[in-house]
Amino acid sequence: MVVTMLEARVRDDTTAVLIDEYGSAGDTLPPFIVETFVLHAAHSDLWRIVTVWESRDALDQYRASVETPEGVRIFRSAGAEPALKVFEVAAHAAQP
């Protein structure tokens, strides 16, 4: 598994756009996305979209297939330019 983290500062007056765009995109998630979250740091303008991917290959194939990745488009719709970080999952735990 791989986790991507897009992070940007979003103005208060555009957070509704970010949430609406994220919700719309969530209706048609590609099958290789395990899950995704939109996160807001309390008492801050810092937002993140965190996505768990089946594999690095799935992420690479997706990125090669689109001009602008959906998460980047979502942040841009809210007037923010996100920074991307990619993490390889070294270990994982979940409820049974």
CATH number at residue 53: 3.30.70.100
Taken as a whole, the chain contains a residue count of: 96
With vertex at residue 60, the alpha carbon angle to CA 57 and CA 63, rounded to the nearest 5 degrees, is: 150
* 93: in domain: no
* 44: in domain: yes
Q: Please state the pTM of the whole predicted model.
A: 0.93
* 94: in domain: no
Residues 3-60 have pLDDT tens digits of 999 999 999 999 999 999 999 887 888 889 999 999 999 999 999 999 999 999 999 9
* 79: in domain: yes
* 18: in domain: yes
95 or 26, higher pLDDT = 95
* 27: in domain: yes
- Gap between the Cα atoms of 5 and 83, Å rounded: 8
